[in-house]
Structure 1
Amino acid sequence: MPEKGPAMAGFTALSDQVFVREGSLDDGAPARATDPDTVLIYGWGDGLPRHVAKYADGYRALYPRAKQVVVLSPIAKAMFSDLRQRTTQMAPVVGAAFAAGAGEGEGEGEGEAKRAVLVHTMSNTGAVNYAATLNAYREARGAALPHQLLVMDSTPGGTDMTASNVARWSRAMAMGTAGWFPWPAVVTQAIWSLALLLNGVYAWSIGRESAGAWSRRAANDAALETRAARRLYLYSQEDDLIAWQDVELHVAEARERGWAADTEVFRGSGHVGHMRRFPGQYWGAIGGAWRRAVGGEES
C-alpha cells in the first residue's frame, strides 16, 4: 500500500510522492506516431499537487495518449536523505514507467528500448529526484534510463555551500514551509539556513556528497543519463532562486560531453514561472524540442 500522503485528482498514488495517470482513450484524441508514450514530470521543491498538476494537464493537451508519472518533491526529504534513500523513494517511477508489457522482456529489452519517453524536471529538487530515478533504473536494469528528451526547467543551480547559494536554498525552503510557522518568513529562512549549514557540515564530516551536487553531476554522466536523449533548458535571468549563469555552465558542460542541448530563455518570469507567464512560448519550445529529439524537425 502507498504511504499516506497528498492526493492528486485523476491520478493513482503509488507512494506519497509518485502518482500515475494512464493516457486518454478518447477516440477523439489525436494520435501521432511520433508522440511520446510516457511523460515523467518531476515537480519543484514543495510544489503542491494542484499546482504540479497544471503541468500534467499541459502535457495532456499536447500528448493525450501518453501515460503520465508525476513526482512531488518535498525539499526537506530530498535535502536530508542519502542516495540510497532517494533511490528507494524513486523506485516506483521505474516500475510505473518501464514495466514490461505484452511482447516485452524484462530489463533493457527490445520493447523497452523502443519506448518514446519525455522527462520534465523542475528546479533543483525535481532534478534531485530525477537523478535518483536514473540511479534506481541503473540498479534495476543495468543500463541508462531510456528516453528521447530531458526538459530542465529552472535547473540546475549552483551546489557549492556559498553564502549566496545558502540564501537561495533557505529562501526556497522558507517559501515552501511558510504555512507551518506563525512567525515572519525571515525567521523561517534563518532556521533553514542553520539547518542547511549543519547538514553540510555533517555531510562533509562523513564524506557524503550533497544531493544537489551529486544530481548535477549525474545529469552529465553517460553511465546514468543516455547521450541519445536531447536536452531542453528553460530558464530566465530574473530567476531569484537559480542563477542563470549556473544553468548556462551546465549547458556548456553537456554540449562538451556530447549531448545535444537546446535553450529557451524567458524574459521577466521568475523561478518555475515561465509556463504561467508565457504559456505559448513554453509549450512551443517543448513541442519543438520533442520533434527535434525524435527526428521530426531539423535542429
Structure 2
Amino acid sequence: MSSQEESEFIKLGADIYLRKANEEDAHDKQSPNIILVCGWMGAQLRHIHKYTKVYEQVYPGATQILIQNRPSFFWSTENTRRKVIAPAVEVLEALGTIPPQSPSLIMNSSSAKVPRILVHSFSNGGAYSLITLGKIMASRAGSSSPLKSSRFPCAIVLDSSPGGSGLSNAIHAFTTLIKNPITRVVAKVLVCLLYVYGFFVGPFIGRRTALQKVRDGLYNPRVLPWVDERTPRLYMYSRADDMVPWEQIREHAERTKSLGWNVRTEIFEDSPHVAHARTHPEQYWGAVKRLWDDALDVAHTKEESN
C-alpha cells in the first residue's frame, strides 16, 4: 500500500481497513454513503485499491470498508473467520445498519445517518467474506429488529462469482499465487486431499465445502440484514475467465432471477478473472452506476407503497 493510501485507510484488524467519507460531499443523498468492498482471495491491497480509488472519485461522500481475503480464510475454523471479520461488523453497526449493541464503537452511532449501502464482492473469496459478515450481523441483531431494506437504498455487485467447484478450478485458485515450485506441488496435493474429503466424506458427516457454502449462501435473499429479494443484484462475469467457469455464474444468476429476485447481469467476452474493470472500464463502471440508480428507484417505490 502506498503512503498516500495508508493515510486514507485506517487499519482496523489484520484484514479490515476503513476510509472515512469526505464530509464536504456527504450531503449528496443520491449516492451511497457506505461502500463495502470484499476483495478476492489473495488479492494484494494495491490491486484492490484500484477499485476503491474509482469509488473515491465517483462517490466521494461514502465511507469505504475494505475486507481483504487470504487463502487461509477458506481453511480456517468458523470462530477464526468471525474474528477476522469482526472489526468490519462493528463499523457497520456504528454506521446504523443494525441496532448498536457495543457502547464503545469506532464511530458515534448517535450521529449515524440513514445508510445507503453499496456492496462490491470479488470472486469466491470476497463472497465468502460477505457471507461470514452477514451471519455475524444477523446474530448480533438477535431479537432486535434490524433496519428494513425498504428504509434505504442498497445494492450488491458480485464480480466473478459464485462458481469454480471443480478440482481443477480449486487447484488453480489456491496455487496460482505460489511462486516456489516445491511449495506449489505441496499445495496442490493438499488441495486434492481436501477436495476429496469435502466432496466424498463431507456429505456423510453433514459438512459442506467452502465453495458450496459460498454458492448456497448467495441463495439467501437476506445474505445481509438490510437486503431482500428486491435488492438489486448484479452478476459480472467473463466468458474468458479461466478460474471460475462463467456457466456456473450464469446458472446462479438465472436461478435467483427465476425466484423473483431483482437480478441483472453484465457479460464480458475477453477479460480475465476479476479483471473486467481493467479490460473494459466504461462498460464495468457504467453497469455499477446503473445498478445504484436501480437501487434508488427501488427504495423510492417501496417508500411510496408503505
| CA deviations over 1:177-211 (Å, ceiling 9, x no partner) | 32xx25496x3663343343355266456422122
SS of the residue corresponding to residue 120 of structure 2 reads strand
Which residue matches 1:121?
Answer: 121
**Does residue 94 of structure 1 match 2:81?**
no
| CA deviations over 1:43-80 (Å, ceiling 9, x no partner) | 111000111111111111110110000011112x2221
Write the distance in 2 (CA, Å) between the matches of 1:132 and 1:120. Answer: 15
**Does residue 64 of structure 1 match 2:64?**
no
Write the distance in 2 (CA, Å) between the matches of 1:270 and 1:60. Answer: 24
Write the distance in 2 (CA, Å) between the matches of 1:122 and 1:19. Answer: 16
Write the distance in 1 (CA, Å) between the matches of 2:197 and 2:34. Answer: 36
Which residue matches 1:136?
Answer: 136
| Structure 1 residue 218: Cα displacement | 1.6
Contact 2:167 2:192 in 1 (8 A): no
1:1-299 maps to which residues of 2 (within 5 A)?
A: 9=6, 10-25=8-23, 27=24, 29=25, 32-75=28-71, 77-99=72-94, 106=100, 114-142=114-142, 148-159=154-165, 165-178=166-179, 181-183=180-182, 187=185, 190-197=188-195, 200=198, 203-204=202-203, 206-225=205-224, 226-227=227-228, 228-295=230-297
Write the distance in 1 (CA, Å) between the matches of 2:193 and 2:113. Answer: 42
| CA deviations over 1:201-249 (Å, ceiling 9, x no partner) | 6645642212221222122213434224210111011000111111111
What CA RMSD, in Å, does the superposition of the two structures yield over aligned residues?
3.2
Write the distance in 1 (CA, Å) between the matches of 2:13 and 2:203. Answer: 31
Write the distance in 2 (CA, Å) between the matches of 1:190 and 1:106. Answer: 44
Which structure features the higher share of helix residues? Answer: 2
Write the distance in 2 (CA, Å) between the matches of 1:117 and 1:44. Answer: 20
| Structure 1 residue 88: Cα displacement | 3.2
Structure 2 length normalisation: TM-score?
Answer: 0.81
Contact 2:93 2:99 in 1 (8 A): no
| Structure 1 residue 252: Cα displacement | 1.4
Counterpart code for 1:106? P
Counterpart code for 1:50? R
Distance 1:264 1:112, change over 3 A: farther
| Matched positions, count | 280
Distance 1:257 1:144, change over 3 A: farther
SS of the residue corresponding to residue 297 of structure 2 reads coil
Write the distance in 2 (CA, Å) between the matches of 1:110 and 1:264. Answer: 39
Runs of at least 5 residues in structure 1 that lack an aligned partner in the other structure: 1-5, 160-164
Same amino acid, percent of matched pairs: 27
| Structure 1 residue 137: Cα displacement | 0.7
Runs of at least 5 residues in structure 2 that lack an aligned partner in the other structure: 102-108, 301-306
Write the distance in 2 (CA, Å) between the matches of 1:30 and 1:114. Answer: 12
Contact 1:17 1:73 in 2 (8 A): yes
SS of the residue corresponding to residue 274 of structure 2 reads coil
Write the distance in 2 (CA, Å) between the matches of 1:112 and 1:137. Answer: 17
Contact 1:78 1:211 in 2 (8 A): no
Contact 1:167 1:193 in 2 (8 A): no
SS of the residue corresponding to residue 17 of structure 2 reads strand
Write the distance in 1 (CA, Å) between the matches of 2:186 and 2:259. Answer: 40
Contact 1:45 1:176 in 2 (8 A): no
